[in-house]
Amino acid sequence: MPQKAKKGREEHVVGDVSDFPEGTHKVVKAGRREIGVFNINGEFYGLPNVCPHQTGPLCEGKPALGTLVANAEGDWKFEWVHDGEIVACPWHGLEYHIPTGGCIAYPNVNLRCYEVVAEDGKVKVRL
């Protein structure tokens, strides 16, 4: 948004805090953007609702889950990590870490993270 730098950041109220219980997420409109808003343990996060892989509706999938890692320190046993912090695109399953926007399979891919705050009972997305 070209006017952003001059006018400061746009703020969009996207709902009441009660619309986003902990452990849930919802796709909202902020201007022309579709943003997935996630409530993870009371912290709010926002990711674009577009998967850079093939433009799938990234944030319209199931509730956030964790994912698996395995490494030498853990004797290559599967470990469950990032519980409740992973969204998988409903189209092809590509996974992202919600708090950082990082793609799990392809660490060079990073999503834009939108600032989402809860203020006065409202959830606001700042662009």
Partner 1 sequence: MTDTVARTREKKEKLEDILVVDCDVHVHESPGELAPYCEMPWRVALENIADVQEFYLDIPGFSPGTTVYEAKFPSGQEGTRMVHTAEQMRKELDEIHVDIGVLFPDHFLKIPVISQIDYAVALAHAYNAWLLDKWCRPEQGLLGCILASPHDPVDAAREIRKYAKEPGMVGVFLPCAGLERLWGHRQYDPIFEAAEEADLPVLLHSVTVIHPVFPFNTQQFETEFGRHICSHTFSMMANLVHMITTGVPVRYPDLKVAVTEAGISWVPFLMHKMDKEFIERRREVPFLTEKPSHYLKKMFFATQPVEEPENLKDLVTMLELYDGEDNTIFASDWPHHDFDHPSKVHQIPFSSEVRRKVFGENALRLFNIDANGNRLNI
CB 45 within 8 Å of CB 20: no
CB 122 within 8 Å of CB 17: yes
105 binds partner 1 (CB under 8 A): yes
Q: What is the Cβ-side half-sphere exposure of residue 81, based on CA atoms within 13 angstroms?
A: 12
112 binds partner 1 (CB under 8 A): no
Nearer residue to partner 1 within complex by CB, 53 or 122 = 53
Task: Please select the residue that binds partner 1; options are 6, 21, 62, 78, rule is CB under 8 A.
Answer: 78
Task: Please select the residue that binds partner 1; options are 33, 53, 122, 126, rule is CB under 8 A.
Answer: 53
Cα separation of 67 and 11, whole Å?
32
Task: Please select the residue that binds partner 1; options are 72, 73, 120, 121, rule is CB under 8 A.
Answer: 72
